[in-house]
């Protein structure tokens, strides 16, 4: 990277500098205004042989010994008013490059003069010239990313022509994303990724932005890139290196990999001892808990083989098995049961894996749990059984399975409501038939005195009303 030339080092040397350059350096916008007006004022001749004309003798684009125009100097010094007058002058060439190939916008970005950047971006010509590269091949976006200037990056990428430069390589094939990642500027990394930066692009050394962030130990930037790119097996190695460089990163990486089902990363972290298989987050959730809920059976297998406890519950008492059961993850349920998970462990609300699976209509999981000793009639804290939950949800096949496995058709919950009451209210005709065939009583009243028939009538479930009328009191006896 070339050494930046400071605008304050020119001292008394006036080689190539005109009055306009010195006024820009001094920030004297009033004199600049006078000078621009003076040399744009028409000078009239009175001879009958001439016509009025404008003589312009001031070159606003004159370049000094460094190749800089007055606008370059105003931008470099952060002189907003001077930059405004010069940039808006009709004769100004706002994308003129100096000896280092830099435009006035380069100068303002490098020196973090946000207000000047804002002024310059008002020029359509400057925005369209956002792809101009300096002698190192760097655009203004490269420099903003290099110096961690988040506010300027946000300003730049709002302009579509600048946004389109996100993937332009410099002379080392570094993109702006490479520059931000190498320095660990997570906010800028995020901004660039969201505006379309290619996370898989490689520089001349074959390095991606992720590898640069990992090797420099920039945990937050690396974690973001890992989570927001197409996963590759080689990222397992990246995760290991990051865990080595950043204390505590191993567990964070393990959680992420377990959630996403990245078994290569999980294997790498566990086999190299970079993370504990049974670590828990603030909510008491383990990597196994996340993997089970996502149905990532390969990760579940790796975790239990490396010592993860199958029955560790989160803060609300939900185990990996209860989560997998509710989500219908049959293979994961089987794996957990084979590795010691208890089929009847209840959560904080007293609901078992069977209760959760039944409510969601997870037929194969219900069958698997019953085959592994789950009790069909375990009631939760509200007194509802798996059959009650299945009936309420209209889960016909599950209702039949539970009845065939000994579930009682008439068990009432804390409100006095039976499975038939719930099914009738929901208008679940087939479930109502199944329960009636299993000797469920059609006229059992709940704590409010309502029967399944009254619930069906109140909800307008005409077909269910007709089914129930044969075995219940007439409506006139139960409705006011």
pLDDT value of position 232: 62
Task: Tell me the whole-structure pTM to 2 decimals.
Answer: 0.66
Determine the average pLDDT of the residues in 421-426.
97
Q: What is d(CA 451, CA 472) in angstroms, rounded to the nearest whole number?
A: 9
Determine the average pLDDT of the residues in 446-464.
95
- Tokens 């004159």 belong to residue: 62
Q: 250: pLDDT confidence band, cut at 50, 70 and 90?
A: confident
Q: 230: pLDDT confidence band, cut at 50, 70 and 90?
A: low
pLDDT value of position 462: 94
pLDDT value of position 234: 64
Q: What is d(CA 48, CA 32) in angstroms, rounded to the nearest whole number?
A: 35
For residues 322 and 352, the answer to whether their CB atoms sit within 8 Å is yes
Max mean pLDDT among 119-133, 219-233, 388-402 falls in: 388-402
- pLDDT of 53 higher than 60: no
pLDDT value of position 57: 63
CATH of domain 16-42+58-129: 1.25.40.20
Q: 41: pLDDT confidence band, cut at 50, 70 and 90?
A: low
- pLDDT of 48 higher than 50: no
pLDDT value of position 138: 96
pLDDT value of position 476: 43
Q: What is d(CA 228, CA 394) in angstroms, rounded to the nearest whole number?
A: 40
pLDDT value of position 327: 95
Selected residue with higher pLDDT from 37 and 238: 37
- As a whole-number percent, the residues of the chain with pLDDT over 70 amount to 90
pLDDT value of position 222: 85
Quote the tokens at residue 152: 């300027």
Quote the tokens at residue 205: 């050394």
Q: 271: pLDDT confidence band, cut at 50, 70 and 90?
A: confident
- pLDDT of 268 higher than 90: no
pLDDT value of position 39: 73
**Model confidence over 335-378: pLDDT tens digits?**
999 999 999 999 999 999 999 999 999 999 999 999 999 999 99
Parse the chain into domains and list their residue ranges. Answer: 16-42+58-129
- pLDDT of 279 higher than 70: yes
């Amino acid at each position: 990277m070339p050494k930046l030339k400071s605008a304050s080092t020119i001292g008394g040397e006036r080689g190539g500098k005109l009055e306009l350059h010195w006024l820009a350096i001094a920030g004297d916008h009033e004199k600049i205004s006078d000078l621009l007006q003076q040399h744009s004022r028409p000078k009239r001749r009175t001879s009958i042989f001439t016509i009025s004309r404008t003589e312009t003798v001031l070159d606003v684009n004159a370049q000094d010994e460094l190749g800089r125009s007055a606008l370059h100097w105003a931008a470099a010094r952060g002189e907003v008013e001077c930059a405004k007058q010069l940039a808006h002058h009709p004769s100004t060439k706002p994308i003129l490059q100096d000896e280092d190939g830099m435009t006035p916008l380069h100068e303002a970005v490098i020196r973090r003069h946000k207000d000047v950047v804002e002024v310059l971006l008002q020029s359509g010509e400057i925005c369209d010239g956002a792809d101009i590269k300096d002698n190192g091949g760097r655009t203004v976006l490269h420099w903003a990313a290099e110096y961690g200037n988040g506010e300027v990056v946000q300003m730049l990428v709002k302009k579509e022509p600048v946004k389109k430069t996100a993937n332009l390589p410099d002379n080392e094939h570094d993109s702006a994303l490479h520059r931000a990642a190498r320095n660990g500027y997570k906010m800028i990394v995020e901004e660039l990724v969201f505006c379309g930066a290619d996370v898989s692009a490689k520089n001349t050394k074959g390095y991606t932005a992720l590898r640069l962030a990992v090797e420099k130990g920039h945990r937050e930037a690396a974690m973001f890139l890992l989570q927001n790119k197409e996963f590759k097996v080689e990222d397992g190695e990246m995760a290991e290196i990051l865990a080595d460089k950043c204390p505590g990163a191993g567990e964070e990486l393990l959680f992420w990999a377990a959630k996403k089902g990245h078994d290569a990363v999980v294997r790498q972290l566990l086999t190299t001892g970079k993370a504990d298989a049974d670590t828990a987050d603030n909510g008491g959730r383990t990597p196994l808990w996340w993997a089970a809920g996502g149905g990532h059976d390969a990760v579940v297998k790796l975790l239990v083989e490396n010592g993860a406890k199958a029955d560790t519950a989160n803060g609300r008492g939900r185990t990996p098995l209860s989560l997998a059961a509710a989500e219908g993850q049959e293979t994961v349920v089987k794996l957990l049961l084979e590795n010691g998970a208890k089929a009847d462990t209840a959560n904080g609300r007293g609901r078992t894996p069977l209760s959760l699976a039944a409510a969601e209509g997870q037929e194969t999981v219900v069958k698997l749990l019953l085959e592994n000793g789950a009790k069909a009639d375990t009631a939760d804290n509200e007194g509802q059984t798996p059959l009650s939950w299945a009936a309420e949800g209209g889960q016909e096949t599950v209702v039949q399975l539970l009845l065939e496995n000994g579930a009682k058709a008439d068990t009432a919950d804390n409100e006095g409501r039976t499975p038939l009451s719930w099914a009738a209210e929901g208008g679940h005709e087939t479930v109502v038939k199944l329960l009636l065939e299993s000797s469920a009583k059609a006229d059992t009243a709940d704590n409010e005195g309502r029967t399944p028939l009254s619930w069906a009538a109140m909800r307008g479930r005409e077909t269910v009303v007709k089914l129930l009328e044969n075995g219940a009191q007439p409506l006139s006896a139960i409705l006011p």
